[in-house]
Structure 1
């Protein structure tokens, strides 16, 4: 199922040890991996500081694009559970992409994660929503 799950843009969970071995070079000093998920080649990793998106590009996958979304920039999270048929479960995060979070001209972006029908995304949603709520209080307080 892992191969087909990856082909249909669905992430599967990976052990912290495997993530540390493969993506530990992208961590800053004192940053620790909490959990992570991967497709066939691509992955996303939650650390205690940020969300790291790893996109292996090209036919061989030797070219890699790494994007960081700081957890303190996430302000909204939505989840859509899978229905009948071929529907997948989706979690979308909305975040501030400009470096200054308390300015008049902030820019925002969103990123959508798709998981397989049987994947329980509720723990990811509640964790991210807790972060978003804390960020909203901090930014608007």
Structure 2
């Protein structure tokens, strides 16, 4: 991911092992990180049990918000892939009882098929 992509809020693939280490003590002992994406200091994660959005706050980054979304709370999702002129993909996830989706912009080259599989595996069980 280039700095410009990060500044524009575009997510890029992250190393699942490193993200798993950052989430040590938060994830369940048997929980496995399947996919992870960075947006500057923030990241979002698909585990075998849940979807998480991690928002690192403040100048020092000591304050962090961990939003856990059980796959059972996801009522629907869409993933619009990048095209020739639109170089970014768009992920939208609707939660039960919510009108507005959670939206994330994904940079070029992000594993959109992997995201589709992770969400399908979690929500269609």
SS in 1 for 2:40: coil
The alignment of Structure 1 onto Structure 2 pairs a total of residues equal to 124
- Structure index of larger Rg: 1
Structure 2, unaligned runs of 5 or more: none
Question: Are 2:114 and 1:116 equivalent residues in the alignment?
Answer: no
TM-score scaled by structure 1?
Answer: 0.75
Q: 1:91 to 1:19 in 2, by over 3 A?
A: same
Q: Which moved more, 1:63-72 or 1:121-130?
A: 121-130
Q: Distance in 2 between matches of 1:120 and 1:13?
A: 7
Between structures 1 and 2, the one with greater strand share? 2
Worse-superposed segment, 13-22 or 42-51: 13-22
Structure 1 residue 60: deviation in Å?
Answer: 2.1
1:20-61 deviation digits (Å, cap 9, x = unpaired): 211122112322222211111001111111111110112222
CA shift, 1:68, in A, is 0.2
Decide which structure has greater helix share.
1
Q: Relative contact order, CA 8 A, sep 6+: which one is greater? A: 2
Please list every run of 5 or more consecutive structure 1 residues that lacks an aligned counterpart in the other structure: 97-106, 136-141
After superposition, the CA RMSD in angstroms is 2.1
